[in-house]
Amino acid sequence: MATLSFRDARQCVIETVRPAAGIEEVRLEDACGRVLAEPILADRDYPATARSLRDGFAVRSEDTPGRLRVTGEVAAGAVFAGNVKRGEAVEIMTGAPVPHSADAVVMVEHTKRDGEFVSVPAAKAGQFVNPQGSEARAGAQLLPPGSRLGYAEIAMLAAVGKTSVHVYKQPRVAVLATGDEIVEISDQPLAHQVRNSNAYSLAAQVRTAGGIAEILPVARDTEASTRALIEQGLAFDLLLISGGVSAGKHDLVERVLAGLGAEFFFDRVLIQPGQPLVFGRARGTFFFGLPGNPASTMVTFELFARAGIELLGGRREVRLPFALARLAAPFRHKPGLTRFLPARLSDDGSEVTPEPWQGSSDIPAMARANALLVAEAERESWEAGDLIRVLIK
């Protein structure tokens, strides 16, 4: 099977997965975080009329500079009935409709009021005026299907009068941990055992990706147990398997999947942590076989499985939150693999410090980190102060 670079493996996921969930209608109050399944069109011009961007005076620019007679006032939510005539001005508040014949607004701080007159400096046509339709014209598409609804998108839906909206159903994702060494998180593990942290970290990651997670019982290191639980997981929209994908004697996942007629797109990616990563489809359901070490599980989910869930749930674009930061200390690695290592990003996001860690089983290091340092496969070393990519957690 194929071994791919990080970029090729991620592109394979993006090009392969397509929306699988249906569509449902939800109230606007419940729509945040969901994925839009209908185009949203402007029901009128935005703004519907020219509006003032400042508190001040609406004027005819050709009358400025000058001493003008104030003939009225207009506040947000009100309309000035008359026109602004030659030598006149109207006091206006931010957001108020600009009176007819006025083509500029002078900020109040730049004027001097003297009874019914006001002295204003020179103003250019269009100054501090938000023209009608400058934000959007009636009928224009404001949000395309596949958009994730955040607070700005919710504001847009409310502005066009959408009390409910059609969204894609959230993908149902089965989470399956494998291994005889795993015990329940409520148990006291022996020295050779570990609690089932991967299932709970994956379930949390699934929820932040917009899916609905269901944790399955742990698959023990027998073909019968592994097969029964994989078959159960293939009834979902997506199956995430943690562990059992390396080359060891008891790593049974690929063998069982092959016996179920699986199509494998790749089974190894040139990254660290997380090289033994499997992506494929069986019985119409996509699956990811993620490495069993906790850091590997978390990282490979973020790099690949998150995109799969977002695409299944209708997202049009699936982008990783990369940024550039300056290294606080020199950094070296062996070229050939793209490495995603725990790191601390400064509060202002300008500087990054690699987080000491003991390898891909080190959950404390992952919990301390707020970013992943991205060491490109083609480069060997960076000096303090060099820019380097980070993946923001």
Residue-wise pLDDT for 175-198, tens only, equals: 999 999 999 999 999 999 999 999
User: Do 378 and 280 sit in the same domain of this protein?
Assistant: no
Q: Residue 53: how many CB atoms within 10 A of its CB? A: 14
Are 165 and 196 in contact by the 8 Å Cβ rule? The answer is no
C-alpha–C-alpha distance, residues 43 and 63, integer Å = 36
Instruction: Give Cα 50 to chain centroid, integer Å.
Output: 34
CA dist 126 and 142 (Å) reads 25
Look at residue 135 and tell me if it is in a domain.
Answer: no
Q: Are residues 210 and 333 located together in one domain of the fold? A: no
Tens digit of each residue's pLDDT (9 = 90 or more) over 96-132: 999 999 999 999 999 999 999 999 999 999 999 999 9
This prediction's pTM: 0.89
Give me the torsion for CA of 261, 262, 264, 268, rounded to 10°.
-110
> Taking 70 as the threshold, does the pLDDT of residue 247 lie above it?
no
Residue corresponding to tokens 């997202």: 315
Sign of CA dihedral 105, 109, 110, 115: positive
| Alpha-carbon gap, residue 103 to 123, rounded angstroms | 9
Residue 30 belongs to a domain:
yes
Is 174 found in the same domain as 292? Answer: yes
Tell me what pLDDT residue 245 has: 80
Rounded Cα gap, residues 380 and 339, in angstroms = 11
**Residue 317 covered by a domain:** no
Residue 77 sits in which domain range?
A: 51-130
Residues 105, 35, single domain; the answer is: no
Q: Is the CB of residue 76 less than 8 Å from the CB of residue 38?
A: no
Distance from the Cα of residue 251 to its chain's centroid: 34
317 neighbors 361 (Cβ within 8 angstroms): no
Q: What is the DSSP string of 269-285?
A: ESEES--S-EEEEETTE
pLDDT value at position 187? 93
Instruction: Identify the residue whose tokens are 């060997």.
Output: 380
Query: What letter does residue 301 receive in the DSSP assignment?
Result: I
Is 264 domain-assigned? yes
The residues near 248 (Cβ < 8 Å, ≥ 6 apart) are none
Helix (H) or strand (E) holding 202: helix 197-208
∠ CA 117-89-119, nearest 5°, is 45
Task: Provide the number of structural domains found in the chain.
Answer: 4
Question: pLDDT-based confidence at 5, cuts 50/70/90?
Answer: very high
CA angle in degrees (0–180, nearest 5) for 237-243-248: 135
Same domain, 308 and 258: yes
| 365-374 confidence digits (pLDDT tens) | 999 999 999 9
CATH for 73: 2.170.190.11
End-of-domain residue from the set 285, 312, 339: 312
Give the residue carrying structure tokens 């008359």: 82
164 forms beta bridges with 27
Distance between CA 242 and CA 246 in Å, rounded? Answer: 11
Return the CATH number at 267.
Answer: 3.40.980.10
* CATH number of the domain to which 372 belongs: 2.40.340.10
- Cα–Cα separations (whole angstroms), residue 368 to 14, 69, 142, 182, 371: 30, 65, 40, 24, 9
Are 301 and 385 found together in one domain?
Answer: no
- Write out pLDDT tens, residues 123-173: 999 999 999 999 999 999 999 999 999 999 999 999 999 999 999 999 999
Q: Within a 10 A sphere around the Cβ of 94, how many other Cβ atoms?
A: 14
* Residue 269 placed within a domain: yes
End-to-end CA separation in angstroms for the chain = 31
Residue keyed to tokens 């994925």: 35
**Quick one: which of 106, 94, 110 has its CA closest to 54?**
94
28 & 104 share domain: no
